[in-house]
Structure 1
Amino acid sequence: MRWAVGALLGISLNVAAAEPPLRFVVADSWAMPMVQLDRGRPTQGILHDMMLSLATRVGVPAEFHVLPRARVQNAMERGEVDVRCYAAQSWLPNQSGDYIWSIPLWSQRDLLISREAQPPHVDPASLPRQSVGTVLGYTYPTLQPLFDADHLQRDDARNQEQVLEKLLAGRYRYAVSNHWTLDWFNQRLLPGQQLHAVTVLQEQHVGCYVRNDPQVPVQRILRTMLRMKMSGEIDEIIRLYTGSAEDNP
């Protein structure tokens, strides 16, 4: 699949070289299998491959802008980038600007995880007062009331992989991770070292949104996303990195 995406890109770039690139924003807090960042540039991962294929099928070059998560929405509003993927409207309740959302493309599951095997379900509200590993700038609606009450405290790291590394090192007993990153992280560990999901905190559908600008081929982008989802291409990209297809949103 990755070879096919690269070959398709090579063919189309000659045709589309004169057209403006499609500018994607990439949060520097993403980790594999979503995106691999090498020297500040995305090189592989589920979202990298999907966005690269999207631009190729639209017929324009892809351009990636890696930014801190706190600057992502501002870059969209200022017209510095055109497309943001792996987002939900509930994450942006005060979104300003003119955007058009895609259909749901993925399912996002936030998990409370631990180094130790636990009973099938752990209620965060029943935990004693302690720090929980989180990603800087991420919101966790299920845990926010406990953070507000100072029952639990955030221990922020720059990206999701760093959160898991700190949990593995014993910096705290619990952390939050999405299911993709947890599975990817566990692949490199022996069975006795692997981290365990102890409860599902939240599950929601996520997609992409496009800046509604006459210079951006908005409808062509949205139609292409729909075809990629309906044809199974997006699920095939997920399977390439995780070994299993995504549950359909």
Structure 2
Amino acid sequence: MRAGVPITLPPPLLFLDQNTPQGILPEFISSLAQILGREHSVLALARPRIPVYLEKGKLDFFCYTIPAWSPIKDKLTWSAPLFLKREIIVGPAPLPKSLDEFKGVVIGTSLDYTYPNLNPYFQDKSLVREDAPTDEANLKKLLSNRVSYVVIDEVFFDYFKNNHPEIEEKRQRLLVQEYPIACAISPHSKLTKKEFDGAVQKLKTSKKLEALFKKYNLSVQVL
């Protein structure tokens, strides 16, 4: 079976070691394949190519996504949710207590990434996107004060903070949204939702899913 991951996914979700995908997501896919008793491969692709590959059957599935992020959501089969992804804004303290209090603020965002909850604020210019190629590039800009605010995956922020504890000095977090992360299965895949969800459930009940995050001193709410 062939699984896709976005090449811009931040560590520890994805590491590319000599172009070989490693990290939490490839390890999750490997554990899934083992339960399903299937050979597998993992392709790291530019995010816009993933729906094309799914629609054409070049991928069996893609994880770390939700229907709202997919331009072909109605053509795909969606797995049961895996865990909650927390999207946060990090900026100088004191941060506004709600998104409605931001006015004309430039915020570090990731190229080709959709932020459904922030779109109204981008449209009325309360927030102004400043795209960087990766989440890591955004946090490095924050660290060097080249941008004052970033919107970021809390898992990656906590991982980055392990090596750069100073990044949260005089800064605060504002929760933007929690997303129930799932997997999208291609309409051409031989995988059924029932067998896929069954394998995911085994990973949850065995605590292997939580262990993948704990390996990097991180925690998530498994669903």
- Judge conservation of contact 1:85–1:208 (CA < 8 Å) in 2: yes
2:14 maps to 35
The CA distance in 2 between the partners of 1:94 and 1:74, in whole Å, is 9
2:39 corresponds to which residue?
61
CA contact (8 A) 1:122 1:198 kept: no
**Displacement after TM superposition at 1:184 (Å):** 0.4
Q: Deviation per CA, 1:24-77, whole angstroms, max 9, x where unpaired?
A: 10101101121112333212x211111111112212222111111111111100
Matching residue's letter, 1:41: T
Q: Deviations over 1:165-202 (max 9, x none)?
A: 1111222110001110000000111x434364421001
Tell me if structure 1 keeps the 8 A contact 2:84–2:179. Answer: yes
Alignment correspondent of 1:185: 160
Matched residues, number: 222
Distance (whole Å) between structure 2 residues aligned to residue 52 and residue 140 of structure 1: 29
Residues 94-119 of structure 1, C-alpha deviations (whole Å, 9 max, x = no match): 5253x3222110101110002x4x23
- Counterparts of 1:103-142 in structure 2, within 5 Å, are 103-114=80-91, 116=92, 118-119=93-94, 121-142=96-117
- TM-score relative to the length of structure 1: 0.81
Q: State the structure with more CA Rg.
A: 1
Distance 1:193 1:177, change over 3 A: closer
CA RMSD of aligned residues (A): 2.1
C-alpha deviation, 1:204, in angstroms: 1.8
The share of aligned pairs that are identical, in percent, is: 27
Q: 1:192 to 1:216 in 2, by over 3 A?
A: closer
Gaps (5+ residues) in structure 2?
none
Alignment match, 2:132: 157
For the residues of structure 1 that align with 2:134 and 2:216, how far apart are their CA atoms? 19
In the superposition, relative to structure 1, how do residues 230 and 220 fare at CA in structure 2: closer, same or farther (>3 Å)? Answer: same
- Where do 5+ consecutive residues of structure 1 fail to align? 1-21
24 and 197 in structure 1: CA distance in 2 versus 1, 3 angstrom threshold: farther
CA 1:67–1:216: 2 relative to 1, 3 Å:
same
Contact 1:134 1:175 in 2 (8 A): yes
> What letter matches 1:151 in structure 2?
S
Offset at 1:121? 4.9
- Taking a change above 3 Å as real, the CA distance of residues 24 and 152 of structure 1, as seen in their structure-2 partners, is same
Amino acid at match of 1:52: S
**Alpha-carbon distance in 1 for matches of 2:28, 2:161:** 23
**Cα separation, 1, equivalents of 2:39 and 2:186:** 17
For CA contacts below 8 A with separation 6 or more, give which structure has more relative contact order. 2
- For residues 147-168 of structure 1, the C-alpha deviation after alignment (integer angstroms, 9 at most, x for no partner) is 1112321111122111111111
